[in-house]
Chains A and B, each alone.
Chain A
Amino acid sequence: MIVSREAFTWVVTALAVGICVGWGAYDVYLLCKHLPARGRVACSDRPALRYQIFGSIIGLCLVVTGLLGVLKYHLHW
């Protein structure tokens, strides 16, 4: 054991929340960057753009999943 179980739980919680917040901010930034471009050019002409947007949406789903998992653990849902 490096630290007590309780301290370790809080380290994991802080890591999970920190990664979710950082990741969420990054994907929101990418969406803000790519969504206006989507309006200018038909999405069918820009498949790479469509893939980027899909990736960011999946990223945001993972952020929500991560935060719900943290809540589920601490609130014993």
Chain B
Amino acid sequence: MNAYINPANAVTASRYLTLPAFVYWMERGDYQLAALAVVMCGVLDLFDGAVARAFGCASGFGELLDAITDAICYAFFIVFLAAHGDMPWPPVICILGLGAVNAVFRAAYARRVGRATNYRSHAMERVVALAAYLAGFGTTGFEPAYYAWVCAALMLVVVAHDARRMLFDPVPPSAEAEEGNAAA
């Protein structure tokens, strides 16, 4: 199957459709519907992996597209919420800055590996999930400042940990081999 145009990447790309819906509902003051757009974005994120496995169309490009879409969608949500006055700016700026630093480290890791690769970090996956919930909590007014500061603090710990791994630890032969070693 085509590595670029396939059902899994279509599901991933469809997550961008939640962004204008989110803005529209936030501007209208329909916070529940805006929260639904955030939830839809998260559900589609869970769904694309399952689609990739069902159709046998998992690819390196798909993984990279998924990671980039995560970053763009969740960053958009929390920046919009901060601009809207629903979340404090300082932790949002910390989260965005750490995300940018992490992206630079990922690029350095890809150079070390010698191929375009999606670097997999179990800890960062969890922090990204928290960023997704943060968008939902911000929309619903559910302790957004508390969650934003905790997200920024944990992200700092994970970026510091992953920096060593990406910049200095030996590169595994392949991502599959690495996962296999972990599961053994």
Contacts and interface: CB of A to CB of B under 8 A. Distances in A.
Given A8-B32, A48-B178, A61-B154, A54 B161 contact: yes
Interface string B124-144: 011101100100110010110
A2 to B, nearest CB: 5
B30 interface: yes
A73 B133 contact: no
A46 B182 CA distance: 8
Nearest to B178: A48
A56 to B, nearest CB: 7
| Chain A interface extent, by class | 20 to 34
Nearest to B32: A2
B146 A8 contact: no
Contact of B33 (A2, A19, A48): A2
Contacts of B181: 46, 48-49
Given A3-B32, A16-B133, A16-B142, A48 B158 contact: no
A interface, over-half SS: helix
A51 B133 contact: no
Contact of B146 (A16, A52, A72): A72
Contacts of A1: 30, 32
Given A16-B133, A51-B123, 8 more contacts: A2-B36, A47-B165, A47-B169, A47-B170, A59-B123, A62-B129, A66-B133, A73-B143
10 contacts: A51-B165, A52-B122, A55-B121, A55-B122, A55-B123, A65-B154, A66-B133, A69-B143, A72-B146, A73-B143
